[in-house]
Amino acid sequence: MGGVGLIPIDPLTKIPNLTHPDKTNRELFIGNTGPDVTDQLLMQFLNAAMMKVGLALPKFPEVNGGKPIIQVRVAGKFAFAQTRTEVEAANLLNLNNIPFMGNYLKIIRPSKYSGPHTTSVTWQELTGMVDPNAPKPGAPTGASSGDASRTDTRVFAADDKIFREIFIGNTTEDTNEAELMEFLNTTLFSVGLTHDNNPKPVSKCRVNGKFCFVECVTPEDTALALNIDQVPFKDQQLKLQRPSRYPGVITENITWNEVLEKVMAGEMGQGIKPPVPSLDNPSGKPTTASSISEEKAVVVTKIVRLTGMISPKEDLVEDEDYNDVVLDIKQECETFGKLLDIVVPRLAQPGEGDVFLKYDSEEGASKAIKELKGRTFDGRIVGAESFDEGKFEKKDFV
């Protein structure tokens, strides 16, 4: 028999039985994972952290190579992690607030957990690190962490590194700094997305597995470079965005495909620049119809159709897997607005492989499209678009 909190031990193999139905006691919700995080990357990180601080049980080296976390399922900006034992699930709670890829992970019990309450500390309390949510020096008394952040932004100079830095996700593991810098500089210069016609707007690059940070020469170069989001590189689409700690105004940008359309139309290229966002025009939107941020007329409905979110052969066969993926998607998509309905067609049904969301307003649907479109989900690029409300009500998903 296993000890208190442990899953049953198989009498023949003397190792934990991972098919035992106490899965909900061994599963945790992980929020704030950030963009372009893969199952494998997050699992490797969490296992390494738990083993480093002694939160993994040493009793079962035969199970999962001694690593406490046996499965991670990433879904957008959150994930679920499953451990070998209930004790290790409770131990994993002590990694709450651990820094990961520019964010601080939120690790809690899932909403369906009905077991006993277990006490835990934060990663900062466990390791003695500085709490990122503590009030910043100089913040007014009683200010929230958000207010403190706004106070801090006033000390940044316009040419500070943080205004010249870009996070790039979805790079391949064999990417090196020199080739990525050369690719970015050549690409940006060829389409005219450099300040003062500088042939080398990217000055530094730090590669870390499947993501990296690059530093541009000027803040203007940085704002222009964000317009090649989703540019293909080594059979992947790079995800370019401001770092999570960026204190400035988040501006609107176009994507690589839209850049190519502008180049072919003669509206962009060397010597033809899109507008750079400024304090007077933070969105960077021009006033002329032919300029870079020209918006296409799109019919917006309360229904959103998502592609690339699920793998039919992995997610639609078994009822448990199907229910898990529907719950994962529901929890993520509820953050964009009030979600009235979610439909995920099963195998051999019209719309197989797609996800259909019904919001109570067009605003919620629009936000979901904006936030989800272009994300990488388990190695797949997510597509998001409005869907006809009449067809949705008739379940016409062909």
Average pLDDT, the chain: 76
Name the more confident of 256 and 58: 256
Lowest mean pLDDT among 32-41, 116-125, 205-214, 318-327: 32-41
What average pLDDT score do residues 201-205 get? Answer: 93
141 — pLDDT class (breaks 50, 70, 90): very low
- Domain 161-264 fold: Alpha-Beta Plaits (3.30.70)
Residue 250: the pLDDT is 72
23-127 is classed CATH 3.30.70.330: yes
Q: Is the pLDDT of residue 50 over 60?
A: yes
Domains 23-127 and 303-393 share a fold: yes
Residue with tokens 């919700």: 29
pLDDT by residue (tens digit) across 315-372? Answer: 788 888 888 888 888 888 998 999 999 999 988 888 888 999 999 999 999 999 888 8
- The pair of structure tokens assigned to 75 is 């879904």
| CATH code of domain 303-393 | 3.30.70.330
* CA distances to 100, 213, 328 from 30, in Å: 12, 23, 11
Please report, for the chain, the start and end positions of each structural domain, with discontinuous segments joined by +: 23-127, 161-264, 303-393
Q: What is the distance in angstroms between the CA of the first residue and the CA of the last residue of the chain?
A: 52
**Does residue 66 contact residue 56 with C-beta atoms inside 8 Å?**
yes
pTM as predicted? 0.35
**Residue % of the chain over a pLDDT of 70:** 74
